[in-house]
Amino acid sequence: MIRPVEPAITRGDPHQTAYSSVLSPHIPKHTPPLRRSISAFVQPSPATPDWSPPQSATARDSSSTTTTTTTTTTRTPTAFPVELLPLVLAQLPHASQALPSLTVSRRFFLHAAARIYTRLVFTQTSGQRLQRVLATFEASAAALDGEASGATAFAYAGLVREVVVSQIEVRESDATARQSWRDVRDLLCAVAPGLERLALATGDDAFLNVAGGWIPAHVTFPNLERFAISPRCVKFSEELVVDLLRRSGRGKLRSVRMKNCMRRFGGAGWYLIAEKGGGALEELVISPAGGGDPGAGWDPVVFASGLAEVVRSCLSLRVLDVSGSRGGIDDKQLGVLLTVLRDLEVVRLPCGINDAHLLAVLTAAPPSLVEIDVACGCGSSGGPGKAPCNTFSDAIARKLVEELYSARAESLMADIVAGRIRSTIVLPSFLRDVKTAKWISSLQWAETLPSARVDFADSDAVVYQGVRIRVPGGRDMIE
């Protein structure tokens, strides 16, 4: 029988306490008194069979020698309404504060363990904590396999729903960052069946050469709903990302975020996003690293065909961010995209946008759209006398603002009077003035619109008829 290990709780750093020791793989069978912090949430209920019966107390009158026996209703709350446990534990600011509840009772143990292990976050020097969590998983797995006869075993790994790993390392002198990521691999293998959210980031160049065999072939993530790589993290190879996407369940992915992460992304990756997302996919953020230079491996043709495949398969998209690709998108394809995706609320478009694209937006008039970003995402914002990547006129920009948003507002005047912002449009640094054919500052142009006011919360934005017009870095471009 495996001997239970008491949690060693460190009182100093709250982030160190959540998984600071190897917890027992067994469910506690005893029921000690409730802690004051937990029992404060509960009112005693005489109808609960687990409450202690009334007790007798002896009181002596100070003015008499007669001994009087009175009955009190003091109860020790040893039972707790099961339906309230998750609500109480959810009020704890940090998961580590649920550790004392592990030894209260079996029901407390189940809910407290779920509170502690639902979300595992490992960053920088938390590699040793990761190793302790793995040891807990191994001990509980051994107990479940029958090595601890007569014990009531518990699978901690089955509680994990989210894993966040960023720049992890182990402080031991003989351990490298790559070795600590082997522990991450073991963690993913252990929690794979119930994993719903996965976020990764690393600065290790070794991952650029990691192929799809990093995780054993039999491991899958059938319930994975959200997959993310930290913005501008370019260390994960396309092969590794595609392998992780392939292991997710068909029609399960709801969100994929890889902003400025991929130097190249082939047709297989786009097809997997369309297949694994399907009707469930609501958010897709994928933009190339370094502006999507075709010479660096980003293929604009594959990008256009892959995006078309996603649009055909994922009709529930609400957020679409494909900014930064220098290959651009055809205005006809954009019109089809906005016509098909009627639930689209936020769209950030690639480079190469012109008047024809904005006319396609006006024609499609997506009913749910609240934000459109047509600013340059590749870094070529242009300058005085120099054309930016996105080239359209001030006239079409104003038409977009007024007709797409303001003209169809049912309570436009109420929004204007109350100062409410209904929508956002993000413009490039410069627009073409149709009267002079010169490039003008987009922010200065927006400030000249009738009744426009500066957004004091954002110096690069102007509010016009309930619409925030934002120009990233626009204030720096004003001479």
Among candidates 230, 227, 233, 228, which has minimal Cα distance to 290? 233
Residues constituting the chain = 479
Q: What is the pTM of this model?
A: 0.78
Residue type at position 280: A
Residue with tokens 């204030």: 475
* Phi and psi angles of residue 383, each rounded to the nearest 5 degrees, phi first: -175, 180
Q: How far is residue 98's CA from residue 113's CA, in Å, rounded to a whole number?
A: 8
> Which pairing describes strands 67-72 and 55-60: parallel, antiparallel, or unpaired?
antiparallel
What pLDDT score was predicted for residue 27? 47
Backbone angles phi, psi at 399, to 5 degrees: -60, -40
pLDDT at 68: 42
pLDDT of residue 29: 46
In angstroms, the CA 135 to CA 129 distance is: 10
Say how many C-beta atoms besides its own lie within 10 A of residue 114's C-beta: 19
> Looking at residue 340, what is its pLDDT?
94
Quote the CA–CA distance of 106 and 87 in Å, as a whole number.
17
The confidence score (pLDDT) of residue 106 equals 75
Per-residue pLDDT at 57: 32
121-147 burial code (b ≥16 CB/10 A, e <16):
bbeeebbbbbbbbbebbbbbbebbeee
Q: How far apart are CA 426 and CA 396, in angstroms?
A: 14
Domain boundaries, the chain: 1-40+78-118+130-160
Instruction: Check the CA dihedral 171-211-184-252 and report its sign.
Output: positive
Q: Supply the pLDDT for residue 70.
A: 46
**What pLDDT, on a 0 to 100 scale, did the predictor assign at position 406?**
57
The predicted pLDDT at position 382 comes to 54
What is the rounded CA–CA span in Å between residue 207 and residue 191? 22
3-class DSSP state of 261? strand
The mean pLDDT values, 10 residues at a time, for the chain of 479 residues are 34 36 46 38 36 31 40 49 76 77 76 86 83 88 62 76 83 55 89 96 76 83 96 89 94 95 91 96 91 71 92 95 83 92 92 90 88 77 60 89 63 51 84 88 90 85 87 76
